[in-house]
Amino acid sequence: MTVLQTLRTVLAAFFGVRGRRSAERDRQISPRDIILTALLLVLCLIVLLVLAVRWIAG
């Protein structure tokens, strides 16, 4: 699976939207890749939130 497919899978999981065909295809992705991608996205979200709060409180 490509990085883009893994990213798409994790983003769909974050929003809770995933079709049956997608779920079958996603079984081919390594759990390690999914976990690493999810952690990276959560880290990015935290950084963006901190920056937004600092900018607003600024």
Q: What is the pLDDT of residues 9-47, one digit of tens each?
A: 899 888 888 777 877 788 888 999 999 999 999 999 999
Cβ atoms of 44 and 54 within 8 Å: the answer is no
Q: Please work out, in degrees rounded to the nearest 5, the angle formed at the alpha carbon of residue 47 by the alpha carbons of 46 and 51.
A: 115
pTM, full prediction = 0.78
Query: What does the pLDDT read at residue 47?
Result: 98
Angle between helices 31-57 and 3-15 (to 10 degrees): 60
Q: What is the chain's Cα-based Rg?
A: 14
Does residue 1 carry a pLDDT above 70?
Answer: no
Q: What is the pLDDT of residue 50?
A: 98
- Say yes or no to pLDDT of 58 above 80: yes
